[in-house]
Amino acid sequence: MQIELNTKKLNELTDTTRIVFIVAKNFEHQWIEDKEALELLGFKAENEECLFVPTHNILYVGCESLDPDDIRLAAAKAYDFLKKTTIREVCIGTYSLDCPGLNIKAMVEGFTLASYTFNAYKSQKEPIKLQTIILCLEDYSRTDVSMQTASKALNAGMIIAEATNFAKEIINAIPNDMTPLALANVAQTLISLPNVTCKVLDKDFLEEQGMNAFLAVNRASVHPPKLIHLIYKPEDAKKRIIYVGKGLTYDSGGLSLKPSEHMVTMKADKSGGAAVMSILKGAAELKLPFEIHAIIGATENMIGGDAYKPDDVLVAKNGKTIEVRNTDAEGRLVLADCLSYAQEFKPDLLIDMATLTGACVVALGEFTTGIMGHSETLKTSCLEAFTKSGELSGVLPFNKHLKKLIKSSVADISNISSSRYGGAITAGLFLDNFIEEENKDKWLHLDIAGPAYVEKAWGYNPFGASGAGVRANLYWMIDEAKK
Ligand code: BES
Ligand code: ZN
Ligand code: ZN
């Protein structure tokens, strides 16, 4: 599918199917040629409902408002409708209000996000006829949109949505296909981008570095672990931003085995790793002026005679000892060592992303990312970026009482809390033990356990992986680059 810009008026493209959004139930707009017919058919323009009127060759789509996320959603719903038809080409105007760039970007994202289908494991793939979307620079609110603004927005929107779709494809792949080695091979493909390099570090390196927490999680797996380190380093880099992602290609729970109904979907426990990789890809394509690292701890968490056990004590890379009380709290063990490794590269900003806790899903619901950290400024700025990108997030506050719940009588720290409450935060506080003093205010932890994997389609997210966190972080860096 391609999106083209065109300076023609919509009604000059007489043979092309036109998409018209009905914004805020306003049927009076000049673009609506079938007011009576729509009324007759009982079309209310609610919930992004779509109605095709063949006589005028127009697809009407309800759009709640001119907020970017409503436009993103309406565009996605239009695409969902069109992909079931044999229509090959459509045109649409712009819906700018006072922010043409943002709204065009959102529309392009909506179309591109919706164009992703996960069909790698279907023997019959349904062909999609829709090839071209022509974006005409004629505006709903009669704002003048310049070709330059539109083409910049088109380019950015495509890159951001394609990076998100890239993450989805990695996450949706089954554990037998997307092993730690396969994940490393995907990372290697990104070196075709300018200024991107990739190192894949093996078990020997992890042993040399004393990354015993990471190694313990891997022990019962037949697939060796990989520490994947991607770097995007443009010449004029303003800051060094280091992302660390949880790359559990499968989480069975280990000896603290998950019940079967909780084990399905655990192929998605690599979502943090896939996200950081995709953020780096997007940032390199957008040519953002930051040095960006994506560090991924890739392994499975399995069972077997060699499995690490509840009661084990592990010595992490930074020397801290960890009492293992539950082998299903494995993500924090892998991240602990990866965070220690990451800090050797002196970050200006350190962000980890992980499907870390079911407790985060209980706290915030399945649509929302949990943001944790020490710096109020950083948390606020991250929250704003999520909102701007159309992703949902909420801040979960640390406190000194919760911090006490991960004390251990055996080792320096326990890998689970002694209370059944506040599990997302105690997991964040566990990670805090591996953040050096000088980096406390540079660090954020994003728990994406809720939104990373969609079991019931919502908004513009189809069944399966959503690429949670990719758009939000790219929006954040785009805005930071302007400062
Ligand atoms: N990968 C899971 C967290 C998870 C749960 C992600 C649901 C996505 C959806 C993680 O490794 C885990 O199992 N966490 C445990 C921690 C507990 C043992 C302290 C959990 O959340 O139950
Ligand atoms: Zn687990
Ligand atoms: Zn896990």
Q: For the stretch 34-62, what's the b/e string if a residue is b when 16 or more beta carbons lie within 10 angstroms of its beta carbon?
A: beeebeeeebebeebebbbbeeeebbbbb
Cα 188 to middle of ligand 1, angstroms: 29
Residues 359, 280: one domain? yes
Looking up residue 209, the CATH number of its domain turns out to be 3.40.630.10
Residues 255, 339: one domain? yes
357, 366, 414: residue to mutate for ligand 1 pocket, most atoms within 8 A of CB: 357
- Spell out which residues have Cβ within 5 A of ligand 2, the ion: 251, 328, 330
Residues 294, 401: one domain? yes
pLDDT, tens only, 149-208: 999 999 999 999 999 999 999 999 999 999 999 999 999 999 999 999 999 999 999 999
Residues 117, 204: one domain? no
Q: What gap in Å lies between CA 178 and CA 174, rounded to an integer? A: 6
The mean per-residue pLDDT over the stretch 68-96 comes to 97
pLDDT at position 144 over 90? no
Record the tokens describing residue 290, joined without a space. 């930051």
Q: Which residue among 145, 162, 186 closes a domain?
A: 145
Angle of helix 470-482 versus helix 147-172 axis, rounded to 10: 140
Q: What gap in Å lies between CA 353 and CA 243, rounded to an integer? A: 7
Please report the atom of ligand 1 found closest to the CA of residue 355: 6
Predicted pLDDT of residue 161:
98
Cα 328 to middle of ligand 1, angstroms: 7
Helix H or strand E encompassing 198: strand 196-201
Whether 164 is in a domain gets the answer: no
Whether 447 is in a domain gets the answer: yes
Residue 44 is among the residues annotated as catalytic for this protein = no
Ligand nearest to the CA of 357: 1
Give, in degrees to the nearest 5, the angle at Cα 294 between 107 and 396: 70
pLDDT at position 98 over 90? no
Q: What gap in Å lies between CA 482 and CA 385, rounded to an integer? A: 14
251, 258, 328, 362: residue to mutate for ligand 1 pocket, most atoms within 8 A of CB: 328
Cα 266 to middle of ligand 1, angstroms: 9
What amino acid is encoded at 105 in this protein?
K
Residues 126, 253: one domain? no
Which residue is closest in CA terms to ligand 1's atom 5? Answer: 358
Please report the atom of ligand 1 found closest to the CA of residue 326: 18
Please report the atom of ligand 1 found closest to the CA of residue 426: 19
Indicate the pairing of strand 50-53 with strand 368-373: unpaired
Under DSSP, the state recorded for 286 is T
Which protein residues are within 6 Å of ligand 1, measured from CB?
Answer: 251, 269, 326, 328-331, 355-359, 361, 416, 423, 449
Residues 138, 249: one domain? no
Predicted pLDDT of residue 475:
98
Which residue in the list 281, 332, 388, 442 is annotated as catalytic? 332
pLDDT, tens only, 409-462: 999 999 999 999 999 999 999 999 999 999 999 999 999 999 999 999 999 999
Ligand nearest to the CA of 324: 1
Whether 154 is in a domain gets the answer: no
Residue 88 is among the residues annotated as catalytic for this protein = no
Please report the atom of ligand 1 found closest to the CA of residue 356: 3
Ligand nearest to the CA of 451: 1
Predicted pLDDT of residue 143:
84
Record the tokens describing residue 157, joined without a space. 């929107």
Q: Which domain holds residue 23?
A: 2-145
pLDDT at position 474 over 90? yes
Whether 288 is in a domain gets the answer: yes
Q: Where are the alpha helices (DSSP H) in 83-146?
A: 100-114
Record the tokens describing residue 182, joined without a space. 């396969």
**Distances in whole angstroms, Cα of residue 215 to Cα of each of 41, 184, 298:** 63, 17, 10
pLDDT at position 401 over 90? yes
Q: 266 with 250: CB under 8 angstroms?
A: yes
Q: Look at the alpha carbons of 32, 35, 40, 43 in this order and tell me if their dihedral is positive or negative.
A: positive
Cα 22 to middle of ligand 3, angstroms: 43
Q: What gap in Å lies between CA 294 and CA 273, rounded to an integer? A: 8
Q: What gap in Å lies between CA 438 and CA 156, rounded to an integer? A: 34
Residues 466, 415: one domain? yes
Cα 250 to middle of ligand 2, angstroms: 9
Predicted pLDDT of residue 181:
99
Residues 127, 199: one domain? no
Predicted pLDDT of residue 133:
98
Predicted pLDDT of residue 410:
98
Whether 165 is in a domain gets the answer: no
Q: What gap in Å lies between CA 104 and CA 156, rounded to an integer? A: 10
Under DSSP, the state recorded for 458 is B
- State what percent of residues in the chain have pLDDT above 90: 98
pLDDT band at 52 (very low <50, low <70, confident <90, very high): very high
Record the tokens describing residue 294, joined without a space. 């994506």
Predicted pLDDT of residue 97:
85
Q: Where are the alpha helices (DSSP H) in 54-142?
A: 68-82, 100-114
Residues 93, 179: one domain? no
Whether 150 is in a domain gets the answer: no
Whether 57 is in a domain gets the answer: yes
Whether 162 is in a domain gets the answer: no
Residues 176, 131: one domain? no
Record the tokens describing residue 50, joined without a space. 């779509």
Reference 343, options 381, 293, 298, 378; nearest CA is 293
Give percent helix, percent strand, percent coil of the chain, each to the nearest 5: 40, 20, 40
Overall number of domains in the chain: 2
Q: Which of 229-233, 287-291, 355-359, 456-460 has the lowest mean pLDDT?
A: 456-460
Looking up residue 71, the CATH number of its domain turns out to be 3.40.220.10
The mean per-residue pLDDT over the stretch 124-129 comes to 93
Average pLDDT, the chain: 97
Residues 99, 220: one domain? no
Cα 45 to middle of ligand 2, angstroms: 43
Which residue in the list 44, 152, 239, 258 is annotated as catalytic? 258
Predicted pLDDT of residue 142:
84
Predicted pLDDT of residue 61:
98
Residues 378, 320: one domain? yes
Which residue is closest in CA terms to ligand 1's atom 3? Answer: 357
Cα 402 to middle of ligand 3, angstroms: 21
Q: Which residue among 80, 110, 145 closes a domain?
A: 145
Please report the atom of ligand 1 found closest to the CA of residue 417: 19
Under DSSP, the state recorded for 67 is S
pLDDT, tens only, 277-288: 999 999 999 999
